[in-house]
Structure 1
């Protein structure tokens, strides 16, 4: 009977793995600890999702605490849901939830199959590191409340609070501070109470007093072991449950072995134990953990909020267009969105005809028509003329950044992360092997040294500093680049930029400036009235040549442009005050290319009759000649231009005889050329203005979009660069190459630290307490070294920027 009772008590829940008090809650041969876990299993079984249990053993979350009925009824309130959702059109709604219970690969699999539980769910993308799920659902088939209730029913209740209305995460890690405080208090007092043991050899300490101090140390060690060390126990156990040996396993072994040995010594009266070492291990390891968490949180914060896109938008103020940086846009500002510009903030359409391309947000290329009074969400691109919107939210920068960092855009970004995790796992196995060999050695030579040597090895060899080096260095280099107005998508972009060997430039708007162009008109005389018509049409396009024509013709009068169309690489057309105008290439306008002029040519037809053409000579950007002269000796250079070859001679002089010059290139031609280079093994950097280069930018190994005074950000690029900073390109590449050297230096120094520490630890010459102090000290030193080396490389970039751009405002180096 006793044996049977023992068996029943040790039965674990099929869903969550926790002990079951009885076997009464069961389905066939599967036992559950509570009705909640049983219900989750029944739901998954009903929808044929039990593969969830095959991916990991007992992967679920305990469901003993029931969710009250109608807990999420507030999600039926349109005002609340409007602030929670990030995008909505006639069919789809996008929302991102923080799911604190995500913990393993089974969670990822189940969440990505959420559509099988709720047919209204279209797609779920899970960010495991952030414990976030981005969910797209059809509002005519389901609702936000139903999606949340389904998530809760299967054990992944979203964390939703008033803070989510400002897209903030809940405060976390406060418990870690409390654990550190308890560990520090107990460690300090144990050290004081251990002084009698330190001086006991001199015969001045009363035995009764010494015994009392030992028991006091035992009592003080209990909250450290059972509360402060929880973070390491949970992490190690989570890894072991999923057959993953993480870096906390050696730490836990050191803590447990030290504590058990110390308790045994005190209770049996054979010594004072190692409570000072055990509590010191926990205290100093928590310092290292908090340092690491703060570092990662800091990097994430910078990427989410301060690395904003360097784009401006026109705000209508007192009847004038005022270029305004995105962070300065406020609610109730009136924004002028030009044709092909990205909409940076949610707003209500108050003027113009909106034809919005939401492919960046939804992946669907079919444009959506919006009428005056309707909401237009951030992330769409206006396709038909100018519109004005009244902002109803601050710039949705956090959501735009999440789209910018979206995994499906650039899958190779995960390579760096997987390398670090693989390193950590193999390192842990190596540490355990060394500890086993050392214990075996001392067992036969000096058993008294087994204890301190093995414990010191488990602590000193923690690869925290090794893993921190790459993340901190990459994050800091991203910050330095952003201070100098180059905003890269992620750390992988740094590596890609450092590896390029072929640089491809767009010409118009990239090598040449969008301002300061010399424009000459040839053809039938343009009356002031006709100039206003041309200007009204040209102002709807953000292409540099259209901007030049608009500046030549002067400020447009408020003519309405109807049926505006822009054809990438060809031209624009539309009805203005009853006349049909075309501006563009000779082929697009139907003109014969028999008019001779230097520079680019934009032809004009009025009611399908050729009126003439504008000859535009765009001046090269300041510093471009020097930049191309520097680059041509180190890289293969190419220029891809949609314009004619009139400037081929001058470009050849600047770029050298080995450069490739291709003119009259359509967007598809640019894409195919990039593909041909990559087929031949080239690592391609593409730099364009993002207007006609989206395909080439996305296909290249790294694409950088220039931005000047318009909102022409393209999601196809890996980086955004302020146009005036282009002369610094070679120095940006040098900084990215320095990034790899800094990481290697940090790795080498961390390895040397571990090897040196292990050298003394295996000999029993390093105490566990000293090892616990040295571990966080190594992390601090690695962070300091990478910071100083990164800042040193950043100072060189700052110095070069002062030399090349002396007339511009500079950020601190």
Structure 2
């Protein structure tokens, strides 16, 4: 009697097979999972891969410890009383079906709002409503569908000890097989008959076959999976010809050995897989290395305002913050660590973490979490834990709030890969058709030879090596990019927009004068304390100018982005900001850069600022004017328009009195004209514009503000290098294209032998690894030379 396989997990069903809807299941557990998916209209799970599931384990009572609040608090990342976020390691994650079902948990449990899978790390980050469910119920749900999490309480972290070493294992197997197959192929290469006796020939060939089996079945499986997914979604990605080439190599070589025709191409097969995996390993190690060397983590935030024991405020490096320290968090600042609220009106936006935009109110004594943004004034907090930089890093690439700029952007590898795939398949079929009529005996050999020699291994290696190395170089030059795709997008830019205040100007040098009715000491204290909560560059400059005034606790604080601040203290109401905001009509036509104030709706005067522009602004604009459309879009008035007209190139568009939404709309308008826009701002009022632009760069000086909408962070001291960074990105794309040309030259030579039916194993064995090695050397040397040109 033919044994049946379980529809859910693929295991062999025994005699007591359970059958539902003409589908067989090996146990009640698998049957139950199938029923759960059926009841919730989630049977698409089985469309991605046959038998993708795992048998759910018996877990009765296993997770009772998750009812202990002390334990739960140590496991979850975030908890505001209503919403909790937990990141769990799921060992069984292995395919697209796993990703699909785990990211659709909200359909199984309505109290789960979002779930995001990190496939390489085998983790799922789940956000759920803690008032209607709890962590235990979430874990039980995962376990019931065959995705039981691994929970380690030893160090209160999830799955950290489960390091994914699969790439290392695959690389080791491919390298071992490649070395041995090459050694066994030497007699065939050089036709050394005295060592290639008939009784050993078949043994050597079958040994090569044996060494190649784990390479094709295990080491190269990622390429077959990727190609399969690409074909299913009707996308010809770069892995399609790679997978096809590997399959043809193996089948043809096996046929040659079985029928004793020749030695096959097992050397090329194992060598190709080895060099492809070597490129992937290099890319992985590069990114791991970059997490230390490019060190963008210190920008989340770059500095923290620490309140010392004697009451002074100091900017402290993020790494130096420890438990027990007291921090000042200003309006719109990111909370960098978990802590206890000491005083202040805490209205915290946790949308970075949870996706929920509604601010959460906290009172003195409440716990507040890293990743929230303080709204409406300043707060003081005591640190509970040192900064978790890896957690803050997640915010930069969290899909909950990230606008997907890459959805319409096609990388160079994808574009060329598709055309390359079509070209290779066309050549293969056309030449096979020709030989079928001319000499049918070699038609099949020609078809397989074309696919073998035209494998795009060099194309697959070019971008990872080039862009990965350039990311590292940029990081050393204090230009921190979110990912390698940003380099490609940077190379396409043809329009650049700059914010003015805090971007073209610097708050390290300023000259402030007051024009108006003198303020008494109490009014100055109210003014200083109001400015203390703001992160606007002008507010920070003005706040710093008050040296001797005492800080007091403001009753109410509200900052209107792009307009000003309104606060109150006892019976005194204060307005600070633009002329129109403080309702002084007589001063509305003044074009100075100024901050106006009114007390109890009585206009008092204004503070005049003499902006100090960065010394490199003029040379930067001069270097960009010939190749880019330039604009300065500012929320300030036109007080310095004439100065900038004389200071900047005449082609520069100058726009003033622009609200944050005006900046965003201006960028959108340019994009409607097919412009590729780069926005450079300070990350304060520019978050929308940074998100809308093709490349958003946040300039960071010493302000504790983090904008997850940006694609890159530029240290203010490297402002003068903007042109060089763009040029380097363009050069990197040229390097990749040169690699493609180099790869094409190898393919042309190889295709000559292939289409004419002359391809021999020794030719493939030389050309394929030679192309891979030369690409790696060329990209490494070229990018290092490029890096030296950036001072």
Class of the TM-score when normalised by the shorter of the 2 chains: 0.7 to 0.9
Equivalents in 1 of 2:165, 2:703: separation in Å? 41
Moved more, 399-408 or 14-23: 14-23
In structure 2, what is the Cα distance between the partners aligned to 1:433 and 1:33?
A: 46
2:139 equivalent among 142, 148, 158: 148
Q: Does 1:274 align with 2:277?
A: no
> CA shift at 1:617, angstroms?
0.9
Aligned ranges for residues 246-285 of structure 1 at < 5 Å? 247-259=242-254, 261-263=256-258, 265=260, 274=263, 278=266, 280-281=267-268, 283-285=270-272
**What is the aligned counterpart of 1:287 among 248, 268, 274?**
274
Deviation at 1:44, TM superposition (A): 0.9
- Unpaired segments ≥5 residues, structure 1: 266-270, 799-813
Distance in 2 (CA, whole Å) between partners of 1:567 and 1:518 is 25
Q: Identify if the C-alpha distance between structure 1 residues 701 and 509 changes in structure 2 by more than 3 Å, giving closer, same or farther.
A: same
Matches within 5 A, 1:566-577: 566-576=559-569
SS of the counterpart of 1:675?
helix
State whether structure 2 residue 101 is matched by structure 1 residue 114: no
Structure 2 CA distance for partners of 1:411 and 1:71, relative to 1, 3 Å: same
Give distance in 2, aligned partners of 1:331 and 1:299.
33
> Is residue 325 of structure 2 the alignment partner of residue 313 of structure 1?
no
- Which residue of structure 1 lines up, in the alignment, with residue 789 of structure 2? 796
1:46 aligns to 2:33 (yes or no): no
Aligned residues: 777
CA contact (8 A) 2:746 2:767 kept: no
Partner residue in 1 for 2:114: 123
Q: Measured at CA, do residues 698 and 434 of structure 1 come closer, stay the same or move farther in structure 2, by a change above 3 Å? A: closer
Q: Secondary structure at the match of 2:604?
A: strand
1:728 and 1:252 mapped to 2: Cα distance?
48
Tell me if 1:729 matches 2:727.
Answer: no
Q: Distance in 2 between matches of 1:186 and 1:549?
A: 68
Query: Is the partner of 1:379 in helix, strand or coil?
Result: coil
User: Aligned with 1:507: secondary structure?
Assistant: coil
Q: Which residue of 2 aligns with 1:787?
A: 780
Contact 1:14–1:30 (Cα < 8 Å) also in 2: yes
Whether the aligned pair in 2 keeps the contact of 1:685 and 1:704 (CA below 8 Å) is yes
Query: Which structure 2 residues correspond to residues 418-497 of structure 1 after superposition, within 5 A?
Result: 420=413, 427=420, 431=424, 457-497=450-490
Task: Please tell me whether the aligned partners of residues 180 and 286 of structure 1 are also in contact (alpha carbons under 8 angstroms).
Answer: no
Asked if the contact 2:403/2:691 (under 8 Å) is kept, the reply is no
Q: Which position in structure 1 is the counterpart of 2:236?
A: none
Aligned CA distance change for structure 1 residues 470 and 76 (closer, same or farther; 3 Å): farther
Deviation by residue 1:10-46 (Cα, 9 ceiling, x = unmatched): x554335666566833113222355443332111112
* Contact 2:617/2:720, CA 8 A, preserved across alignment: yes
Deviation at 1:338, TM superposition (A): 1.8
User: How far, CA to CA, are the matches of 1:96 and 1:335 in structure 2?
Assistant: 27
**Who is 2:373 aligned against?**
381
Structure-2-length-normalised TM-score: 0.86
| Alpha-carbon distance between aligned partners in 2 of 1:741 and 1:639, rounded to the nearest angstrom | 30
1:584 aligns with 577
Distance 1:603 1:419, change over 3 A: closer
How far 1:158 sits from its partner (Å)?
4.1
> Counterpart of 2:396?
404
Q: Secondary structure at the match of 1:716?
A: coil
1:808 counterpart residue number: none
Question: Is structure 2 residue 361 aligned with structure 1 residue 369?
Answer: yes
Worse-superposed segment, 444-453 or 598-607: 444-453
Task: Establish whether residue 231 from structure 1 lines up as the match of residue 226 from structure 2.
Answer: no
Counterpart of 2:642 in 1: which secondary structure?
helix
CA distance 1:509–1:412, change in 2 (3 Å): closer
Does the aligned pair in 2 maintain the 1:34–1:63 contact within 8 Å? no
Change in Cα spacing, 1:51 to 1:65, as seen in structure 2 (3 Å) is: closer
After superposing the two structures, state which structure 1 stretch, 166-175 or 145-154, moved more.
166-175
Secondary structure at 1:670 match in 2: helix
SS in 2 for 1:717: coil
8 Å CA contact 2:688–2:709 kept in 1: the answer is yes
* Distance change >3 Å, CA 762–CA 99, structure 1 → 2: farther
Post-superposition Cα deviations, 1:443-463, rounded to whole Å, max 9, x if no partner, equal: 898999789877665443322
User: How far did 1:709 drift?
Assistant: 0.8
Q: Sort the Cα spacing of 1:708 and 1:418 in 2 relative to 1 into closer, same or farther, 3 A.
A: closer
C-alpha displacement at 1:650, in angstroms? Answer: 0.8
Distance change (3 Å), C-alpha of 1:504 and 1:293? closer
Alpha carbons of 1:220 and 1:26: their partners in 2 closer, same or farther (altered >3 Å)?
same
Change (3 A) 1:218 1:637: closer
CA distance, structure 2, for counterparts of residue 639 and residue 112 of structure 1: 42
Task: Report the counterpart of residue 347 of structure 2 in structure 1.
Answer: 355
- The residue number in structure 2 matching 1:268 is none
Task: Let me know the Cα RMSD of the aligned residues.
Answer: 3.8
Taking the aligned partners of 2:590 and 2:774, their CA distance within structure 1 comes to 64
Partner of 1:627: 620
Listed one character per residue, the Cα deviations across residues 529-549 of structure 1 (whole Å, up to 9, x for unaligned) are 543342222222111211222
Is it true that 1:602 corresponds to 2:595 in the alignment? yes
Cα deviation per residue 1:368-422 (whole Å; 9 max; x = unaligned)? 1122332222221112332233333443333333332234623231455677467
Query: 1:49/1:497 Cα in 2 relative to 1: closer, same or farther (>3 Å)?
Result: same
Q: 1:406–1:679: structure 2 CA closer, same or farther, 3 Å change rule?
A: same
Counterpart in the other structure of 2:337: 345
Structure 2 stretches lacking a partner, 5+ long:
233-239
**For each residue in 1:551-574, what CA deviation from the matched residue of structure 2 results, as whole angstroms up to 9, or x when unmatched?**
222154242222122121222232
